[in-house]
A and B are shown apart, each in its own frame.
Chain A
Amino acid sequence: MSNLSEEEKQKHLQSWGNWMRGLSDKGQFLGGEPLGKEARVIKGNKKIVTDGPYAESKEMIGGYLIIKAGDINEATEISKGCPIFETNGITEVREIHHMEF
């Protein structure tokens, strides 16, 4: 994102807006939030705190979206429309798991 020109940035933001509005219109957008860069990871029974899982790498989780899809394959297809790929990003698709008691 940071190496885009102002005009390219606006265009990119526009595609995010359009994509999400499209999901919302189809009833596929259920929620989600962008996440901050700073993170803490708390590990093990000693509860050791470190600066996030990706402190050493350039990767980070920019946020999450909850979408509605028939199965993981449909969700994957929806995910391919995400404008994050315009900036060479990554998405990971997972199902919300139903807990059974």
Chain B
Amino acid sequence: MSGFTGNADLMVDHLFRHESGRMVSALTRIFGLSHIEIAEDIVQDTFLKALKDWRFNNIPPNPQAWLYKAAKNKTIDYLRHQKHVHDFETESGSLIKSEWTMFAEINNVFSDKEINDNQLRMIFASCNPLLPMESRIAFTLKTLCGFNAREIAKALLTTEVNINKRLTRAKQKLRDNHLKFDIPQGEELEARIESVYRVLYLLFNEGYSAAEAESFIRKDVCAEAIRLTEILSENAIGNKPKTFALLALMCFQAARLDARIDDKGYIILLKKQNRSLWNKTLIARGLEYLSKSAQGDELSEYHIEAAIASYHSSSASFGETNWAEILNLYDILIKIKPSPVTILNRSIVIAELKSIKEALNEIKDIKELDQYYLFHATLGEFYTRLNRISDAKEQYKKALKLISSPAEKNLIKQKLLKI
């Protein structure tokens, strides 16, 4: 076989997104979290080699196998030069110091059996509570999803300088604390898995709500959040109803991504979305995960949020939305996660189901949300519908001051114009 012809640059880009996380995770088994930059350098070099090689020769028939082989060879070269200099305090430690066992050990960490396990270890490492939350998300995107600092900055709506700072800080923490590349056990596991859920949930939300990021970046972030959550669900540790609830929630939300933003990058609200653009395959996957989540006796916030999303997904039109059931779910959610944001979202359901006045009464005295633009946007909407024009304008203007995203600013400006 002569392999594929085609654009080597595109192929390398595509593979980097899909394979670099696997490769960095495998190599971190060898070098340890304290030396993760060695793993990253080897992976980077491997892709540079692929780019050079594939531009002149054809793309090999099995590019993944080509990349793994090249990475293994680079690792062996590195170890041969460094083994009498460096001690790597990993499980592989003594095995990679001897020619007797070096090959077998490197093959082992790249084996099909270990590849997902390595990534799971990396997920748990990225979600270590020693790292600040914003570093956890940036580090996950970098290490597991093959995003570079520029792409992460775009996805998280910040600067490249900021992202590099967060990544450096994360690596420093891992080094300073000599953290092992292991999945924690016992009580520590219970706590860590909650952090994993949180990071995956926030990661997904970053992709979902970063309206002005280029659409492929948003979709990639959401797809990666789903992929990582699936890795978790496939392992005995994460094979839990709560994981399936989170997956269901992600699938239902991701199904609406294409309908949520128009060609100009403007947000289209649920009410006005073209429901035929909703991704039916993702909705079906969501329903499958939702039924898998209905086991055991833990009812998590993800269960409720997934159930709410499922009502929206399965409703043929906005008018036919089952607001009564959704309100029931919000009543439960408020007990599990009593936050002002939940109260705010619940009030929108009350507005649809009962009256604007009742909805307004639920939220108008919440002080904690004064700096939250959606609070003022919602008040603006309620006042508009009650024909209290000057109150509505005041709220929309407050909202505008709090928004940094152009797509969301535009949405509020449109509303102001229509009053």
Q: Which residues of A contact B (CB under 8 A)?
A: 16-17, 20-21, 24, 29-34, 63, 65
Contact = CB atoms under 8 A, between A and B. Distances in A.
12 contacts: A16-B100, A17-B104, A21-B104, A24-B101, A29-B95, A29-B101, A32-B98, A33-B98, A33-B99, A34-B100, A65-B98, A65-B100
B101 A17 contact: yes
Contact of B94 (A17, A31, A63): A31
Contacts of B104: 17, 20-21
B292 to A, nearest CB: 36
B95 A21 contact: yes
Nearest to A17: B104
A21 B101 contact: yes
A31 to B, nearest CB: 6
A33 B100 CA distance: 6
A20 B104 CA distance: 10
A32 B95 contact: no
Size class of the B contact interface (CB-based, 8 Å): under 10
B97 interface: yes
A29 B101 CA distance: 11
Nearest to A23: B94
Sorted nearest first, the 9 A-B pairs with minimum C-beta distance are A17-B104, A20-B101, A29-B94, A33-B99, A24-B95, A24-B94, A32-B98, A34-B99, A31-B97
A87 B97 CA distance: 26
B95 A20 contact: yes
Contacts of B99: 33-34
B97 to A, nearest CB: 6
Contacts of B97: 31
Contacts of A20: 95, 100-101, 104
A30 B98 CA distance: 9
A5 to B, nearest CB: 21
Nearest to B97: A31
A30 B94 contact: yes
Given A21-B104, A30-B94, A31-B94, 7 more contacts: A17-B101, A17-B104, A20-B100, A32-B100, A33-B99, A33-B100, A65-B98
B76 to A, nearest CB: 14
Contacts of B95: 20-21, 24, 29
Interface string B87-131: 000000011011111001000000000000000000000000000
Interface string B219-235: 00000000000000000
A24 B101 CA distance: 10
Contacts of A16: 100
A99 to B, nearest CB: 21
B86 to A, nearest CB: 14
A25 B94 CA distance: 10
